Amino acid sequence: MKKSTSAITPLKLYCDFFGHNYKVTKKVTHHVKEYTCSCCKKQLTTNSNGRLTELTPKFKEINATLAKIYSNKLSRMNAQRFNTSAA
């Protein structure tokens, strides 16, 4: 049985000791955002409960679809607002 060896980098040690330093990398909606740690590049997103979850390919796809729906909604609202103000 082999032991798996993972490279321990200084940045990972920093995050293990002091905690992650997350920055918002993408605003999907007002409530859903994607975050990346500026040190170890770990990516997180908010789930349906509002908690941070690791950004997996499934969540990337969900966020892309949600962003598309949200942008369509905003464009419809802006067009509707423009049409009512022009009338």
Say what the pTM is: 0.76
Q: Beta 43-46 vs 22-27: how paired, if at all?
A: unpaired
- Residue 10 domain-assigned? no
C-alpha angle 35/73/62, rounded to 5°? 40
- Residue 74 domain-assigned? yes
Task: Report which of 51, 54, 58 is spatially closest to residue 42, judged by C-alpha positions.
Answer: 54
Number of domains the chain is built from = 1
What is the pLDDT tens value at each position of the chain, 87 positions in all? 556 556 667 778 889 889 999 999 999 999 999 999 999 999 999 998 999 999 999 999 999 999 999 999 999 998 888 787 665
* 57: containing domain: 22-82
